[in-house]
Amino acid sequence: MASGRSPHAQPSGTMADLLRFSPPASPPPPLRPAWSRYRPSESMKGLLIALFGGGLPAGFAALFTRMANEASGIPSLQILFFRCLVHLLFVGYIRYWRIPCCGPPESRRRTLFHASVNVISIGFAYTSFMVVPSGNATTVRKGSSTVCSILLAFYMEKNRLTGYDWFGLLGSTLGVLIMVVPDLLNLDESTQLYDALGYVLACMGGMLLAVGLVVFRSLDFPETLATVAFLFGVVGSLACLPAMFLLQDPVIPVDLLTWTCVVAVSVLALVSFLCASYAVTKAHPALVCAVLHSEVVVTLAVQYYVLQEAVTPFDITGAGVIIGSIAIITSQNISCDAPEDDEGVA
């Protein structure tokens, strides 16, 4: 008698097969915390470096520049000369790794141009710190650098800015205007021409700062930071050494306070120079210049608490607008990229 089971049906397992031990399936790998599974975007890294490494240290450079001038009358070009000497220490790094001192031949002109522009920019800035209040000079310099970088972005940059970026840039510029315009309208008649010259120097220094950042962004060769830092020291030393004897009266500091201030200015300015230059390789130059306005807020606080210089309600309002603008720009660029090894797990 034929069985009713299909010839293709598989025989059912025995009791021994059912009781046979089978190891449990391995559990899925645990997910790492969000702060380790995600990393900030490149633009966010650049803005953070510009904020904490470029803006904050530079805010104290104006304080020590002013203190050195008041302690022993050391002129601005001499302070810049000492700073350039610190930059020359990069020669050891360049010789050790056998890096071309002026960069590769195809980028040599732009590298030298970058060094020259930065030397002139900082020379103007240090001179303006000694002519007008340091907070006002810093505000004018940073504001003009932002406006200039925005104008250059239309012609030289391919990366488009978002609406939030534009809102933050306009707010940052508005904060600068709130701080500066009342002071420009109330200049003392006896020193009106002298103060106007200080503001013009600060404005020109900011414009050249923006040009230098855009030029650095166009440089693309290994060890760019070390090369431009060393060339800054070379060009600055060669330019400041004769200029400070022809245009100013050099002073040999003898007190410890002046030397401490000069060393502090040199180190802080070097850190700010390296961080701001590196930041423009990650983020848009206009956004970097806007975030560097944190220097204005730091200088304003130092101006009030340390130098005992007057701070008006316009200064406080403008500083608040600048802080809000920096927060908008930073929050707009907060985006996290998951590493490749976590993309399949997330």
pTM of the predicted model as reported, rounded to 2 decimal places: 0.82
Which ranges constitute the DSSP H helices of 73-133? 76-87, 90-97, 108-131
pLDDT at position 131: 82
Q: Is residue 12 part of a domain?
A: no
Q: Is residue 16 part of a domain?
A: no
pLDDT in tens, the chain (346 residues): 455 555 555 555 555 554 454 555 566 656 555 555 556 778 888 999 999 999 999 888 878 988 888 888 898 889 999 999 999 999 999 999 988 888 899 999 999 999 999 999 988 988 888 788 777 788 888 888 888 887 776 666 555 677 888 888 888 889 888 988 887 788 777 777 888 888 899 999 999 999 999 899 889 888 899 999 999 999 999 999 998 888 888 888 888 999 999 999 999 999 999 999 999 999 888 889 889 888 888 888 888 888 787 788 888 898 899 899 988 888 777 665 555 544 444 4
Q: Is residue 3 part of a domain?
A: no
Q: Is residue 15 part of a domain?
A: no
pLDDT at position 14: 57
Q: Is residue 24 part of a domain?
A: no
Q: How many domains does the chain have?
A: 1
Q: Is residue 340 part of a domain?
A: no
Instruction: Please count the residues of the chain.
Output: 346
Q: Determine the Cα–Cα distance for residues 104 and 98; give it in Å rounded to an integer.
A: 12
3-state DSSP assignment of residue 336:
strand
Q: Is residue 113 part of a domain?
A: yes
pLDDT at position 238: 94
pLDDT at position 234: 95
Q: Is residue 27 part of a domain?
A: no
- Domain extent for 277: 40-335
pLDDT at position 18: 44
pLDDT at position 278: 94
Q: Determine the Cα–Cα distance for residues 314 and 300; give it in Å rounded to an integer.
A: 12
CB atoms within 10 A of CB 32: 13
What does the buried/exposed string (b/e) look like for 258-287 if buried means 16 or more CB atoms within 10 Å of the residue's CB? bbebbebbbebbbbbbbbbbbbbbbbbbbb
